[in-house]
Amino acid sequence: MEQNKIANPAPLGLIGFGMTTILLNLHNAGIIQLSVVIVAMGIALGGLAQVVAGLLEYKRGNTFGGTAFTAFGFFWLSLVTIWLVGPKHVVADKTSMGFYLLLWGIFTTAMFVGTLKHNTISKLVFGSLALLFYLLAIGDFANSQTITTIAGVVGIISGSLALYDAMGQIINTEFGKDIFPL
């Protein structure tokens, strides 16, 4: 009897994370404005694509990948909800956002510990992402645009590392050898 083989969903999740993180952090770094472009990417690729990738990781028996992609997919959906609902109904003040980002930093740090058994690029993605969340939290707590701008640069790096990881997994699998070292 032939079993259905589920393809590796990690590249989809990493692309969703990477592209959305780069786009948002171009805003945090002061390069572009927060716009519907970031909101749409946050919903579609950052949110929904990562949730799909996470659910497929769970189906493959990968608790780490399932937890990471599903949680971060819902991070994006919650962040977009804050942006869309906040200005009209409940204001997301800097202190509340600081704690929101701090909690995500703590979660990401725990996930980083899990990457210590993974490849170098995964360690770099999660390590830089944890740093990003902590810097964004500090930027909000201190009401410091300078710290938020520095966080934006870290976020662009983190998102770029995730894209590299995704492309590496796809291309290495396609060619059956390590073309992109991970």
The model's pLDDT over 14-43, given as tens digits with 9 standing for 90+, comes to 999 999 999 999 999 999 999 999 999 999
* Residue 131 belongs to some domain of the structure: yes
Residue 29 lies in a domain: yes
Q: Which H helix or E strand runs over 155?
A: helix 145-175
Q: Tell if the pTM clears 0.85, that is, is over it.
A: yes
Residue 64 lies in a domain: yes
Task: Establish if 159 belongs to a structural domain.
Answer: yes
- With H, G, I as helix, E, B as strand and everything else as coil, classify residue 61: coil
Could you report the per-residue pLDDT of 46-82, keeping only the tens digit for each? 999 999 999 999 999 999 999 999 999 999 999 999 9
126 close to 69: Cβ distance less than 8 angstroms: no
Number of domains, the chain = 1
In a domain? residue 1: no
- State the residue range of the domain holding 30: 10-175
Tell me if 180 is assigned to some domain.
no
Percent of the chain scoring above 90 in pLDDT: 91
Please give the span between the terminal C-alpha atoms of the chain, in angstroms, as a whole number: 35
Q: What is the CATH number of the domain that holds 170?
A: 1.25.40
pLDDT > 70? residue 171: yes
Closest CA to 121 of 72, 167, 154: 167
Provide the pLDDT confidence category of residue 89 given band limits of 50, 70 and 90.
low
